[in-house]
Structure 1
Amino acid sequence: MKDVREEYHAEGLSEGHLHDNPVEQARRWVDEAIEAGFPLPNAMTLATVSADGQPSTRVVLLKGIEGGGFTFFTHYDSRKGEEIAANAKVSFTMFWQPFDRQMIVIGEASKVDEEESESYFASRPYASQISAAISPQSQPTSREWLEAEVEALQQQHPEAPVPRPANWGGYRITPTEIQFWHGRPSRLHDRFRYRKQADGSWVRERLAP
């Protein structure tokens, strides 16, 4: 691993390239990754912290940027859901290697309203609705049990919509800090940080790479 090297060749990132609102700048970068056809352009590595201070991470999918925040969906009684209930402070990272770009968001997560969760669940493919409805996410299980539960629920609901489980829904991460990183040759990267102020405005500053 010590010999693995990756040189970055991206053009420079200056303050003139950045939107005054970091949430809108984040939307630009996500949209550009989607338009470029990158695999899983909305994948984000989400970090949560347990009540006793143990961090954990996993990859989830960003499903919206609205209401001043970033939305994803999951089981509320999963490990991440239990940790958010104990400590709403979270962070996530998105990395788009072909663009030599990384974005880090720090903030707090809160549940979206029931109507929004219902609407998104109904928009999911039938098989995804089934899987979400039967899964005791993060709990020990067996493949045989999962497949048996899928078959049983498919018999009850042979077509969409499948009822949304009460323990499944969305979270919106409201940011207090957002960083934009742009890889540059010789590791002299461009890096900008926005920090939210008490009056709701944002302060932007360049950071050393």
Structure 2
Amino acid sequence: MTVKAFTDPNNPDVAEWAWVTFKKVHGTIVAPGDDRIEHLIGAGIPHLFLAFVRGVAWRAAYRYALGPPGAYTFWEESFSDSVFATGQFIEQQPNIFSIKFTSSPIPLEDGSLLDPRAGTHIFNPIPVDGERLPERFFVLAVNYIDPLVHERLAPTRYVGNLDAWYATQYVGALNFVTVNDEFPEGEDEVFGQCLDCMVPVARMSLAVLGTTINCVYKVIRSSSREHPHWLLHYL
């Protein structure tokens, strides 16, 4: 799967890209009683899981002004090899699938579960001079090596501090993407778009300009483990 998620709906060049591969694995409940994944799997229903194999992502640099004069926000280009996603087919409808990016436990091709939050993640924040950094970084579905959003507050709000820089964790658009689609009969590729995916109020981010995000995607079904468009910025 290749996904391009748009951070700013008014600027198609401001985007995140993700490349993910899966393997179909037959099963029912992977971890009985685990509420974090039962909602995805569906208790007692045979499924073809999309077991996670690997995933990477890239984001474009961006800067925008938002608020009073002198205030702006920006982030730098960054790469991620800490990307987590999962999905499924319903066995009775083998062409219909659902894929989502998630930081909840995900099934692997050997039948085990990977809990992204239990692993080690390398963050390399690059602060602006005098900037306050977050005390900690949370593990997300997509974790960039440079995890920062930089915000310069308007000087009028902080009299005597004309260089008020603050940093928060970058929570990008990919974290809110869910792809629900269907392969056309006899076809092994599907191209589609996901419009107005909701961003929960509790997860609002300076890196998502609005309460919804849009994305385009291509999903290819193949016997090969290789992603045909790995790291290429086209669909």
- With normalisation by structure 1, the TM-score equals 0.28
More strand by share: 2
Which protein, 1 or 2, shows the higher relative CO under an 8 Å CA cutoff with sep ≥ 6? 1
More helix by share: 1
